[in-house]
Structure formats: C-alpha cells, structure tokens
Amino acid sequence: MSPMSLMSLKRALKKVCQPLYKARKYMVYEENLLQLFRKCQACCHTCTVEKFVNGTFVSITQICSHCLQKTKWNSQPHIQSTPAGNLHLSAAVAFSGASYIQIHKVLTALCLECICPRTFFNHQKTFLQPTILSHWRTEQNTMLEMARHYGKAVVLGGDMRADSPGHCAKYGSYTMMNLEDNKVVDIQLIQSNEVGASPRMEREGFLRSLQFLESAGLRVGAIVTDRHPSIQKYLREQRPDIKHYFDTWHVSKGLAKKIDALGKERSCGEVLAWRRSIINHLYWCASSSKTGEEAVEKWKSVTNHVQNVHHHDSDLFPVCAHPPLEMRAWLTPSTKACERFCDLMINQRLLKDVAKLSPHHQTSSVEGFHSLILKFAPKNVAFSFVGMLNRCDSLNVF
C-alpha cells in the first residue's frame, strides 16, 4: 500500500469509524428489522422488501406498488467499497489480539451475521497490518526524538521472548525498553533460520536493536539484561563504553534453584529456612551499594551472618547493618549444611555476577511486557512473520 493511500485510509478510519467505536450497538432479529419496512411511510400500503447482506452490513430496499416510492436504507456507511462495520469488526479482533477463528465460531453459534475468515485476513493484510506498522513507527520516532531532545545517555533494559521448547522456537522477539520511563523503544523480530539456530536469536536481536537505536541518534549509557554469555562477551570486548548490568531477578532465580537443590540433600534441609532471607539480601546488596566491590563484600558477609557472626574482615562492610536479632535457626559451623551453603554463596561465578547487579533499574517491566505478548501471540498458534511482528507492535500502539 502506498503512503498516500495509507494516509487516506487513516483519515477515513478516524472520520467514519471513530463514531462507530463510541456508538452503542444492538443485536436485532431479522424478522423485527424487516417488519419496520413492510408498510410504506407515505401511503401505509404493504411494500415489497428486498434485502442485501454483506457480512455485518445490511441494505434494505423498500418498493411500494401503490405510490411507486422506492426507499433504500443502509445499516452502516462505507469506506470506499468496504462496509465500515466489517472493517470495524476486523480491527476490533486484530487490535485486541483475539483469534478470528474462535470469534467466528461464537458469532456463528449465536446466529449472528459476520464476515468470513477469508475476508478478515484480507482486511488484516490490506488495511490493519500497514496501519499498525505505520502507527508504531510514528510512535517510535516520537519517543526517540524526545530521548534525543533531553540529550543524556539512557538506561536500556533488554530481554528476549521466544517460544518455549516443545512448542515452536521459530520466532524470537527482542525488546528494548527505556527503563527511566518504562516505554518500549524497539522490538526486533528474529526468525531462527536467519541465524542458524534458535539459541543464537537473542544475540542477533540485541545487536540489531542496539545498532538501530544508535543509528537513530540515541546515546546508550547502560544496559540491563540477563546473563546471556554472548551478550556479555560482546559488550565486554567490543563495547566497553557501555555499562553492562545484570537483572537481579534473573540472578536470584538461579540462586533460589540451587538453594532448593541443596536443601534436598541429606543433612542439608536446614538451609531452606534461609532461602527467603538470602534472596532479600541479594536485592539489598544490589540496591544499597555504590560499587560492585561493595556489593560483593556485603554479599560475602552472609556466610558469617548465618552462623550468628556479625563482624567481618572487610573494610567496605565491617559489621552487619541490621539491629540486634532474636534467636534464629543459625547454621552450626563445620557441619555439612554450613560448609556446602558457604561454598555456594562464595562461588566465584556468583561473585562476578553480584558485582554487576543493577543498582536501580531492573527488567521487570520488560518481563511484564513479554507476559502480555502471550495474550496476543499464544505459543500454540502459528503466525506469519508479518502477523507476529504486528501482534508485538500492536501492544505499543493500542
């Protein structure tokens, strides 16, 4: 569709369909509708009624044999040659992320006139998808222009949403969000056969999104992601000017699983009582520390804390910050549970991750956005590439 015809469509939708969105709509039985036209309004004689139906559009032609008056009534206006109500129905289904196959079954069960699935897909391809993409690009350019106007480096949060194994790992959408205002600034849809395998989609989506945002003039100061190894390597070796932080929830999720696994071992069940406190301590270390070294020292203090020792051999964190505590289920030194627990807490890989925890911004908003995508693009339904891209973009537009 050309840009001129697309603009004409948008103006027509705003002029004709906007009153339809606000107007109330009712279900009318066919017999009651035809009864209104059986009598001529001029001479009150019985008239011949002809009916024409096109989806939700109904046209009634009233012909009076006595006074020869011919009256035509249409249930809805037209946009060029398309009934506005049919397009309205298609738009309502597409913009709400519903499945027209299911909607068609419901409307058929209610004996309601509706458009066929083929007409819906034609509307979607011809009108709705170009409108969604055009609107999203306009909104995206506005957000990028505002970010460039402020002039400061932004903090981005990135994560990938891909279909889980067992369903279909064909598509993966990488989302970049401005964590300072929680607005999505870019979505890159990757197909697995583009990069050779589904595990490579996240790195490719990250690179495309970062390249697009920087080419648009956005200054990136920091990025908060999960612990994806390829992204870590790229930012460490090729983009040292960008600060890379880890999302605390992703680190705490992996740590909680390890604590649960340790608690199931023999003579180690008592560590489960500390699970919730350990996760809270991890978040506190990230939010209260000014540097990564300080966060690591605070984190290492937990090995003494669980043994009821609250003074530590550290200049950055010499004593626990909490007030005096009541008696708790402290871990006994030199026991299997205590030794295994301490080894888990001071694991070198975990300490490196703690040093890079994000102090302020997290990617919870990105995770919430991805959970909303499941309403628009469920994993048990196959979509085309353009259809999948539109269902991701429509969340930001409507």
- Does this model's pTM top 0.85? My answer is no
Which structural domain, as residue segments, surrounds residue 273?
A: 253-355
Clarify whether residues 366 and 337 are in a common domain: no
Q: What is the pLDDT of residues 210-248, one digit of tens each?
A: 999 999 989 999 999 999 999 999 999 999 999 999 999
**Residue 379, domain member (yes or no):** yes
Q: What is the pLDDT of residues 10-56, one digit of tens each?
A: 455 555 455 555 667 788 888 888 888 888 887 888 888 899 999 99
**Residue 127, domain member (yes or no):** no
**Residue 76, domain member (yes or no):** yes
Number of H helices, E strands in the chain: 18, 10
When divided into structural domains, the chain yields a total of 3
What is the 8-class DSSP label of residue 17?
Answer: I
Clarify whether residues 268 and 327 are in a common domain: yes
Q: Which of 73, 89, 122 is where one domain is finished?
A: 122
Over 90: is that where the pLDDT of 81 sits?
A: no
What pLDDT is recorded for position 18?
Answer: 55
| The residue count for the chain | 398
Clarify whether residues 48 and 110 are in a common domain: yes
**Radius of gyration of the chain measured on its C-alpha atoms:** 30
**DSSP string covering 39-68:** B-TTT--BEEEEEEEETTEEEEEEEETTT-
Strands (E), the chain: 47-54, 57-64, 70-74, 78-79, 82-83, 154-162, 171-178, 183-191, 220-225, 243-246
Clarify whether residues 307 and 210 are in a common domain: no
Q: Which residue has the tokens 């804390």?
A: 305
Tell me the C-alpha distance between 170 and 291, whole Å: 40
What would the mean pLDDT of 269-280 be, rounded to a whole number?
93
**Residue 6, domain member (yes or no):** no
- The phi and psi torsions of 135 (rounded to 5 degrees) equal -65, -40
**Residue 19, domain member (yes or no):** no
Structure tokens at 359: 């102090």
Q: CA dihedral in degrees (105, 110, 111, 115; nearest 10)?
A: -40
